[in-house]
């Protein structure tokens, strides 16, 4: 598949910015990336600082809301978009519990607008790749794995909105023949993740001697994947995945939350001793409503059919991530204080 003008949505967020850097560095991609991002609290152009200079003529940034159907159609024709990699979403479960409205708008209506624009793009359009989550499958008991055949059973407004968007993508393939692929991935971690999510939140709080809030009994299980491994899986599916198909992507790395928080404490104690064990900062707090107990991905389909499997081990990936957050305190300060939002206002209005 030769893509000339790849529309990446949400390219200023955590996974999107890692993907833009990944794809532009690949020898098997010579096209241009058109990054459309609304720049919500989670989208930060600083995540892609220097990218235009590093890849002259191959990167365009447009601050646009995917819920603006007219603007999206205009972008498709003006930039002759021939493929889409769709990351843009409201992504944090806790926020969806408190204020679900923007999840419905961006995740469902925004995806619908993109599908419509892609449908109208005509025969030159090659692929709509939709980034989704394992959370659409609901919660597992102590055993078993999510496969591509597991029935959808989303439990939070976030996962319900992602499930709806997956169904729309599937329907556009079945009804209109739009070339689509979907990936349902487990929990990502790595550089540039907004520090509201478990791993960066715990790293920063532990560094600053603040409480480490663990929901419920801390024994909920997630399956962790280093973000660059996810980027590789996405590009593999885009190139070689069967059109109309779904691929589960996971890290083969189940961990209880408490184990991760303790490991972060121990690694930081080793690197920056502070006279006491940071584990003493662990504070059990009331559970998240509707908290899914366990996620675990069976990724044998993508391994068998496309030859992808994760490369990074959890221990080395976590060390790299901790180092990144330690070395990028200016970034963490700016995203947490909202200082970068003032910069966005100054530059983009
Ligand atoms: P993120 O919150 O870090 O980034 C989301 C990006 O989308 C931001 O740059 C934001 O500004 C942009 N955005 C939000 N609303 C928009 C709108 N209306 N129009 C244009 N841009 C908008 O999210 P992330 O963690 O990078 O997740 C990216 C995608 O991957 C999401 O679709 C998410 O559901 C999915 N996913 C995430 C994980 C994970 O562990 N983080 C795992 C599996 C799947
Ligand atoms: O599984 C994929 C999903 O992973 C993605 O679709 C979501 O976009 C992404 O946010 C993530 O969802 P989670 O809800 O699993 O991630 P979060 O980092 O919010 O929480 C991970 C686990 O840690 C979860 O069991 C809740 C728990 N937790 C989280 C926070 C923020 C805590 O115990 N304390 C906390 O402060």
Look at residue 49 and tell me if it is in a domain: yes
Q: Would the CB of 222 count as within 6 Å of ligand 2?
A: yes
The residues, any chain, with a CB within 8 Å of residue 337's CB and separated by 6 or more, are none
Give residue 301's pLDDT. Answer: 98
For residue 237, name the pLDDT band (cuts at 50, 70, 90).
very high
Looking at every residue in the chain, the average pLDDT score rounds to: 97
Q: What is the CA radius of gyration of the chain?
A: 20
Q: Compute φ and ψ for 290, nearest 5 degrees.
A: 65, 25
Which of 66, 67, 89, 112 gets mutated to test ligand 1 (max ligand atoms within 8 A of its CB)?
A: 89
If one counts every other C-beta atom within 10 angstroms of the C-beta of residue 16, the result is 28
Average pLDDT over residues 268-282: 97
Instruction: Report how far ligand 2's centroid is from the alpha carbon of 226 (Å).
Output: 15
Look at residue 142 and tell me if it is in a domain: yes
Query: What is the C-alpha to C-alpha distance for residues 250 and 238, in angstroms, rounded to an integer?
Result: 17
First to last CA, the chain: 38
Give residue 321's pLDDT. Answer: 98
Average pLDDT over residues 322-337: 94
Percent of the chain surpassing pLDDT 70: 100
Look at residue 165 and tell me if it is in a domain: yes
* Residue range(s) defining the domain that contains residue 85: 5-189+226-251+294-311
Give residue 341's pLDDT. Answer: 76
Look at residue 205 and tell me if it is in a domain: no
Look at residue 94 and tell me if it is in a domain: yes
If one counts every other C-beta atom within 10 angstroms of the C-beta of residue 119, the result is 16
Instruction: Report how far ligand 1's centroid is from the alpha carbon of 242 (Å).
Output: 24
Look at residue 180 and tell me if it is in a domain: yes
Question: Angle formed by the axes of helices 329-337 and 339-348, to 10°?
Answer: 80
Q: Compute φ and ψ for 122, nearest 5 degrees.
A: 85, -165
Tokens read off for 68:
């603006």
Give residue 348's pLDDT. Answer: 79
Give residue 342's pLDDT. Answer: 78
For residue 51, name the pLDDT band (cuts at 50, 70, 90).
very high
Query: What is the C-alpha to C-alpha distance for residues 5 and 81, in angstroms, rounded to an integer?
Result: 5
Look at residue 80 and tell me if it is in a domain: yes
8 A C-beta contact, residue 237 and residue 185: no
Which of 187, 283, 286 gets mutated to test ligand 2 (max ligand atoms within 8 A of its CB)?
A: 187
Q: What is the DSSP letter of 264?
A: H
Q: Compute φ and ψ for 163, nearest 5 degrees.
A: -60, -45
8 A C-beta contact, residue 208 and residue 246: no
8 A C-beta contact, residue 324 and residue 316: no
8 A C-beta contact, residue 234 and residue 129: yes
Residue 344 pLDDT > 80: no
SS3 assignment, position 279: helix
Instruction: Name the β-bridge partners of 188.
Output: 225
CATH number of the domain bearing residue 108: 3.40.50.720
Categorise residue 80: left if φ over 0, alpha if ψ from -120 to 50, beta otherwise.
left
Domain tally for the chain? 1
The residues, any chain, with a CB within 8 Å of residue 342's CB and separated by 6 or more, are none
If one counts every other C-beta atom within 10 angstroms of the C-beta of residue 282, the result is 18
Q: Would the CB of 195 count as within 6 Å of ligand 2?
A: no
Query: What is the C-alpha to C-alpha distance for residues 124 and 122, in angstroms, rounded to an integer?
Result: 6
pTM of the model: 0.98
The residues, any chain, with a CB within 8 Å of residue 143's CB and separated by 6 or more, are none
Look at residue 346 and tell me if it is in a domain: no
Residue 136 pLDDT > 90: yes
Q: Would the CB of 220 count as within 6 Å of ligand 2?
A: yes
Q: Would the CB of 297 count as within 6 Å of ligand 2?
A: no
| Nearest of 198, 219, 229 to residue 299 by alpha carbon | 229
Query: What is the C-alpha to C-alpha distance for residues 281 and 203, in angstroms, rounded to an integer?
Result: 12
Map 107-169 to HEC letters: HHHHHHHHHHHHHHCCCCCCEEEEEEEHHHHCCCCCCCCECCCCCCCCCCHHHHHHHHHHHHH
Active site residues: 134-135, 158
Residue 349 pLDDT > 80: no
Q: Which residue do the tokens 């609901």 mark?
A: 138
């Amino acid at each position: 598949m030769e893509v000339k003008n790849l529309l990446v949505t949400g390219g200023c967020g955590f996974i999107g910015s890692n993907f833009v850097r990944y794809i532009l560095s690949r020898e098997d991609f010579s096209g241009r990336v058109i990054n459309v991002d609304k720049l919500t609290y989670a989208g930060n152009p600083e995540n892609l600082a220097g990218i235009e200079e590093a890849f002259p003529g191959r990167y365009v940034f447009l601050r646009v809301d995917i819920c603006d159907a007219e603007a999206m159609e205009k972008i498709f024709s003006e930039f002759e978009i021939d493929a889409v990699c769709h990351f843009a979403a409201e992504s944090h479960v806790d926020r969806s519990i408190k204020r679900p409205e923007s999840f419905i708008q961006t995740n469902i209506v925004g995806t619908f607008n993109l599908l419509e624009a892609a449908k109208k793009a005509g025969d030159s359009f090659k692929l709509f790749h939709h980034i989704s989550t394992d959370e659409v499958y609901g919660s597992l008991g102590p055993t078993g794995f999510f496969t591509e055949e597991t029935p959808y059973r989303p439990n939070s407004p976030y996962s319900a909105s992602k499930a709806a968007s997956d169904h729309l993508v599937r329907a556009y393939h079945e009804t209109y023949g739009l070339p689509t692929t979907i990936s349902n991935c487990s929990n990502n971690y790595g550089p540039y993740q907004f520090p509201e999510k478990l791993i960066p939140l715990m790293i920063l709080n532990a560094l600053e001697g603040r409480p480490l809030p663990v929901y419920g009994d801390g024994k909920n299980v997630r399956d962790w994947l280093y973000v660059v491994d996810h980027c590789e899986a996405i590009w593999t599916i885009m190139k070689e995945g069967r059109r109309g198909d779904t691929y589960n992507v996971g890290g083969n790395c189940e961990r209880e939350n408490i184990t991760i928080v303790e490991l972060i404490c121990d690694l930081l104690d080793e690197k920056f001793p502070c006279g006491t064990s940071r584990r003493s900062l662990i504070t059990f707090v009331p559970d998240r409503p509707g908290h899914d107990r366990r996620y675990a991905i069976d990724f044998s389909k993508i391994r068998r059919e496309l030859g992808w499997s994760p490369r990074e081990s959890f221990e080395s990936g976590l060390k790299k991530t901790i180092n990144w957050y330690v070395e990028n305190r200016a970034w963490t300060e700016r995203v947490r204080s909202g200082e970068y939002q003032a910069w966005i206002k100054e530059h983009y209005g």
